[in-house]
Amino acid sequence: MTTLRSRDGDTISNILWITLKRNDDAGTQSDQLTLHIDTTGQTGLPKEGAVLTWREGYGDNLIDETDSAFLSRLARERDAIAKPVNDLYVLAKRG
């Protein structure tokens, strides 16, 4: 089940997704989510233009770490190496 909540506490649940577009922008640029949903039969809808919160990840075990720290941890767990090369961060199997 998907639930969206506005800053005012209004909730939309059991959402029928029409389209979802997510831009994962690089660096310090803000990511953008464009969401089109069918609200037929929904009650307690946020007002038009309301700001909705969106949270995604792998369950409740979200870790606040930098990209570099994440890739280094991933490399340790998988017997690999992680290092910056030019404008990229490379993760490769050791050897």
Q: In what order do the strands lie in the sheet with 11-13?
A: 11-13, 3-6, 52-53
pTM of the full predicted structure? 0.36
Please list the pLDDT of the chain residue by residue as tens digits (95 residues).
456 666 666 666 666 778 878 887 777 777 777 878 777 776 666 677 777 766 665 555 666 788 888 889 889 998 999 998 998 888 888 88
pLDDT at 88: 87
pLDDT at 81: 92
Residue 41 is given by DSSP the state T
Q: Tell me how far apart the alpha carbons of residues 88 and 17 are, in angstroms, rounded to a whole number.
A: 34
pLDDT at 23: 81
5 beta partners: 11, 53
